[in-house]
């Protein structure tokens, strides 16, 4: 997401407001050279502090941490350059099948791949906030959204899908595998894809904070967070 600087704002105040840090803000906004010097009316990219996913009770965090690092930010332009349809390689299969093919991969490792989903993920997004980055890339690879619709923030992706006439909001009871599910979490928001039902509970697939170091890995699990929206492609 972006924020327009208001009179009286300080970088530390903005960081506190959005649960991030001054360092993360400066990395997401390389035009800022001095943390004490920002200008009213200018726009800032606001990085997330964490996607705020926690494994369900009984789940054990993974032992493989993410392997790459990068500057934080939202929907920036420094990611890997992809080629082909919709900003990536030619789309193959459904968004759900594409996501499922990457189960148990660390987000940091996936971003290093030069084709498929990895080519459409922004590699500079921190390894603990890749949920929207991953879902956007899966949708791109399936040919459901364009590269311009890719968004690294939950609210940003939700807004773009709301504006896309090819998507409609549906209830959980009508959800199909691959539908985009945006959730409200204690620390912010999280976005995953619907993955079907198991023992009467909805399952979701996405880039989740399950590694011991707080970084993300592609997993399927049930989640109990309030659902803000479910977007289903009309095709």
- Name the architecture of domain 1-47: Roll (3.10)
Quote the pLDDT of residue 81: 30
HSE value, Cβ hemisphere, 13 Å, CA-based, for 113: 18
Q: What are phi and psi for residue 9, nearest 5 degrees?
A: -70, 150
Q: If you average pLDDT over residues 29-48, what whole number do you get?
A: 80
Q: Has domain 51-233 been given CATH number 3.90.1720.10? A: yes
pLDDT higher at 2 or 194? 194
Q: Rounded to two decimals, what is the model's pTM?
A: 0.66
**Where residue 59 falls among pLDDT bands split at 50, 70, 90?**
very low
User: How far apart are alpha carbons 11 and 122 in whole angstroms?
Assistant: 24
Mean pLDDT of the chain: 80
The answer on pLDDT for 91 being more than 50 is no
pLDDT at 195: 97
Q: How confident is the model at residue 144, as a pLDDT?
A: 95
**pLDDT tens-place string over residues 108-144:** 999 988 888 999 999 889 999 999 999 999 999 999 9
Does pLDDT of 68 surpass 80? no
Domain map (residue ranges) of the chain: 1-47, 51-233
């Amino acid at each position: 997401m972006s924020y327009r600087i208001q009179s009286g704002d300080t970088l530390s105040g903005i960081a506190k407001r959005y649960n991030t840090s001054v360092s993360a803000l400066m990395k997401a906004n390389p035009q800022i050279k001095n943390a004490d010097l920002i200008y009213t009316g200018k726009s800032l990219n606001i990085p997330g502090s964490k996607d705020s996913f926690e494994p369900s009770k009984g789940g054990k965090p993974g032992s493989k941490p993410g392997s790459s690092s990068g500057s934080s930010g939202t929907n920036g332009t420094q990611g890997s350059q992809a080629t082909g349809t919709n900003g990536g390689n030619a789309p193959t299969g459904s968004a759900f099948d594409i996501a499922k093919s990457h189960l148990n991969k660390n987000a940091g490792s996936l971003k290093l791949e030069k084709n498929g989903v990895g080519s459409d993920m922004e590699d500079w997004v921190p390894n603990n906030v890749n949920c929207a980055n991953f879902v956007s890339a899966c949708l791109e690879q399936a040919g459901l959204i364009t590269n311009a619709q890719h968004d690294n923030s939950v609210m940003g992706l939700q807004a773009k899908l709301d504006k896309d006439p090819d998507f409609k909001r549906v209830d959980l009871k009508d959800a199909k595998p691959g539908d985009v599910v945006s959730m409200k979490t204690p620390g912010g928001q999280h976005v995953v894809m619907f993955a079907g039902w198991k023992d009467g509970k909805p399952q979701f697939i996405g880039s989740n904070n399950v590694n011991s170091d707080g970084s993300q890995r592609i997993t399927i699990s049930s989640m109990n967070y309030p659902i803000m929206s479910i977007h289903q492609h009309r095709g």
